Structure 1
Amino acid sequence: MPAAHAATPIVIRDIRLEGLQRIEASTLFSYLPVKRGDTFDDDKASEIIRKLYATGFFNDVKVSTEGDVLVVQVAERAAIGSIDFAGIHEFDKDALTKALNSVGLSPGRYYDKALIDKSEQELKRQYLTRGYYAAEVTTTISPLDRNRVGILFSVTEGPSAKIRQVNFIGNHVFSDGTLRDEMQESTPNWFSWYTKNDLYTKDKLTGDLENVRNYYLNRGYLEFNIESTQVQLSPDKKDMYLTLTVHEGQPYTISGIRLAGNLLDREAELNGLVKIKAGDRFSAEKLQATTKAIVDKLGEYGYAFATVNAVPQIDQEHHKVDLTLNVDPSRRVYVRRVNIEGNTKTRDEVVRREMRQLESSWFDSNRLSLSKDRINRLGYFTNVDITTVPVEGTQDQVDIDVKLEEKPTGTLSLGLGYGSGEGPIISAGISQDNVFGSGTSLALNVNTSTTYRTLTVTQVDPYFTIDGIKRITDVYYRTTEPLYYSSTTDTSFRIISMGVDTKFGIPFSEADMVYFGLGLEQDRLDIDSTTPQSYKDYVADFGRVSNEVPLTLGWSRDNRDSVLIPSRGYYLNTSAKYGTPITGTTFYKMDAQAQYYYSFARGFILGLNFQGGYGNGLDGKPFPIFENYYAGGIGSVRGYESGSLGPRDTSTGDPIGGSKMIVGNIEMTFPLPGTGYDRTLRVFSFMDGGNVWGTEGESTGANGLRYSYGLGLEWISPIGPLKISYALPLIRHANDKYQKFQFQIGTSF
Structure 2
Amino acid sequence: MRIKSSSKLLLCLLTAIIHLKAHATEPFVISDIRVEGLQRTEAGTVFNYLPMQVGDVMSDEKAAQAIKSLYSTGFFKDIRIENDGDVLVVTVQERPSISQIDFSGNKSFPTDKMKEGLKQIGIAEGQIFDKAQLDRAEQEIKRQYLSQGKYSAEVKAVSSPLERNRVSIRFEITEGPAAKIRDINIVGNHLFTTEDLRANFLLTTPNWMSWWNKDDQYSKQKLTADLEALRSFYMNQGYLEFSIDSTQVSISPDKRDVYINVNITEGEKYNISKTKLAGEMLLPEEDLKKLINIQDGDVFNRQKVTDASKNINDKLGEDGYAFANVNAVPEINKLEHTVAFTFFIDPGRKVYVRRINVQGNTRTRDAVVRREMRQLESAWYAGDKIKRSKERIQRLNFFDSVELETPSVPGINDQVDMTVTVAEKATGSVQFGAGLSSSDGVVLGFNVNQPNFLGTGNRVALQVNTSSYNTVYSLSYTDPYFTPDGISRGFDVYRRDVDTSRRNSSTLNVGTYNSQSYGVGMRFGMPMSEMDFLSAGVTLDMTSVDLSADSPIQYLRFCENSSGCSSNSIVLNAGWTFDSRDNILFPRRGVLQRLSGDVSLPGLDLQYYKMSYQHSWFKDMGKDFTLMLNGEAGYAKSYGGKNYPFFKNFYAGGVNSVRGFLNSSLGPRDVNPISGSDFAIGGTKRLVGNIELFMPVPFVSQSNQFRLSAFIDGGGVFGENDSINSDYLRFSTGVGVTWVSPFGPLKLVLAKPLKEKENDDTQTLQFQFGQQF
Contact in 1 for aligned 2:435/2:771 (Cα 8 Å): no
TM-superposed CA distance for 1:114, in Å, is 1.6
Query: Are positions 1:346 and 2:371 aligned together?
Result: no
Q: For residue 37 of structure 1, what is the aligned residue in structure 2? A: 55
With 373-382 and 676-685 compared, the bigger mean Cα shift is at 676-685
TM-superposed CA distance for 1:356, in Å, is 1.7
- In 2: Cα distance, 1:61 partner to 1:192 partner: 58
Query: Are positions 1:689 and 2:714 aligned together?
Result: yes
After TM superposition, list the pairs within 5 Å mapping 1:177-192 onto structure 2. 177-192=195-210
Query: Are positions 1:56 and 2:77 aligned together?
Result: no
Contact in 1 for aligned 2:510/2:679 (Cα 8 Å): no
- In 2: Cα distance, 1:328 partner to 1:352 partner: 32
- In 2: Cα distance, 1:485 partner to 1:56 partner: 79
Contact in 2 for aligned 1:648/1:700 (Cα 8 Å): no
Contact in 2 for aligned 1:707/1:730 (Cα 8 Å): yes
Find the residue that maps to 1:389 and give its secondary structure.
coil
- In 2: Cα distance, 1:18 partner to 1:88 partner: 42
Relative to structure 1, the CA distance from residue 48 to residue 164 in structure 2 (aligned partners, 3 Å threshold; closer, same or farther) is: same
Q: For residue 571 of structure 1, what is the aligned residue in structure 2? A: 592
After TM superposition, list the pairs within 5 Å mapping 1:42-441 onto structure 2. 42-192=60-210, 194-264=212-282, 266-413=284-431, 418-425=436-443, 429-441=447-459
1:379-422: CA deviation from partner (whole Å, max 9, x where unpaired)? 22233222333334444333223233333323345666544434
Structure 2 residue aligned with 1:549, among 547, 563, 570?
570
Relative to structure 1, the CA distance from residue 603 to residue 29 in structure 2 (aligned partners, 3 Å threshold; closer, same or farther) is: closer
Relative to structure 1, the CA distance from residue 342 to residue 683 in structure 2 (aligned partners, 3 Å threshold; closer, same or farther) is: closer
Relative to structure 1, the CA distance from residue 247 to residue 613 in structure 2 (aligned partners, 3 Å threshold; closer, same or farther) is: same
Which stretches in structure 1 are left out of the alignment for 5+ residues? none
* 1:665 partner letter: N
- In 1: Cα distance, 2:432 partner to 2:217 partner: 36
TM-superposed CA distance for 1:493, in Å, is 4.9
Contact in 2 for aligned 1:195/1:675 (Cα 8 Å): no
With 528-537 and 137-146 compared, the bigger mean Cα shift is at 528-537
Which stretches in structure 2 are left out of the alignment for 5+ residues? 1-14
TM-superposed CA distance for 1:516, in Å, is 0.4
Structure 1 residue aligned with 2:665, among 640, 644, 650?
644
Structure 2 residue aligned with 1:733, among 749, 757, 770?
757
Contact in 2 for aligned 1:547/1:582 (Cα 8 Å): no
Find the residue that maps to 1:36 and give its secondary structure.
coil
After TM superposition, list the pairs within 5 Å mapping 1:456-471 onto structure 2. 456-471=474-489
Q: For residue 766 of structure 2, what is the aligned residue in structure 1? A: 742
With 622-631 and 148-157 compared, the bigger mean Cα shift is at 148-157
Contact in 1 for aligned 2:598/2:609 (Cα 8 Å): yes
Identity of aligned residues (%): 46
Find the residue that maps to 1:555 and give its secondary structure.
strand
Contact in 2 for aligned 1:693/1:702 (Cα 8 Å): no
With 561-570 and 271-280 compared, the bigger mean Cα shift is at 561-570
1:45-86: CA deviation from partner (whole Å, max 9, x where unpaired)? 222222211111011111111111111111111111222333
TM-superposed CA distance for 1:295, in Å, is 1.2
Relative to structure 1, the CA distance from residue 601 to residue 34 in structure 2 (aligned partners, 3 Å threshold; closer, same or farther) is: closer
- In 2: Cα distance, 1:581 partner to 1:236 partner: 88
Query: Are positions 1:521 and 2:541 aligned together?
Result: yes
Relative to structure 1, the CA distance from residue 377 to residue 287 in structure 2 (aligned partners, 3 Å threshold; closer, same or farther) is: same
- In 2: Cα distance, 1:223 partner to 1:263 partner: 31
Q: For residue 662 of structure 1, what is the aligned residue in structure 2? A: 687
Contact in 2 for aligned 1:639/1:727 (Cα 8 Å): yes
Contact in 1 for aligned 2:717/2:728 (Cα 8 Å): no
RMSD: 3.3
TM-superposed CA distance for 1:574, in Å, is 0.4
Q: For residue 521 of structure 2, what is the aligned residue in structure 1? A: 501
* 2:657 partner letter: S
Find the residue that maps to 2:23 and give its secondary structure.
coil
After TM superposition, list the pairs within 5 Å mapping 1:443-458 onto structure 2. 443-458=461-476
- In 2: Cα distance, 1:428 partner to 1:154 partner: 51
- In 1: Cα distance, 2:642 partner to 2:356 partner: 60
Structure 1 residue aligned with 2:33, among 1, 15, 20?
15
Relative to structure 1, the CA distance from residue 212 to residue 458 in structure 2 (aligned partners, 3 Å threshold; closer, same or farther) is: farther
Contact in 1 for aligned 2:436/2:770 (Cα 8 Å): no
- In 1: Cα distance, 2:615 partner to 2:265 partner: 48
TM-superposed CA distance for 1:192, in Å, is 4.4
- In 2: Cα distance, 1:428 partner to 1:143 partner: 58
With 362-371 and 303-312 compared, the bigger mean Cα shift is at 362-371
Contact in 1 for aligned 2:637/2:720 (Cα 8 Å): no
With 36-45 and 520-529 compared, the bigger mean Cα shift is at 520-529
* 1:551 partner letter: L
Structure 2 residue aligned with 1:704, among 711, 721, 728?
728
* 1:521 partner letter: D
TM-superposed CA distance for 1:567, in Å, is 2.6
Relative to structure 1, the CA distance from residue 123 to residue 456 in structure 2 (aligned partners, 3 Å threshold; closer, same or farther) is: farther
TM-score, normalization by structure 1: 0.91
Relative to structure 1, the CA distance from residue 381 to residue 714 in structure 2 (aligned partners, 3 Å threshold; closer, same or farther) is: closer
- In 1: Cα distance, 2:275 partner to 2:65 partner: 73
Contact in 1 for aligned 2:437/2:771 (Cα 8 Å): no
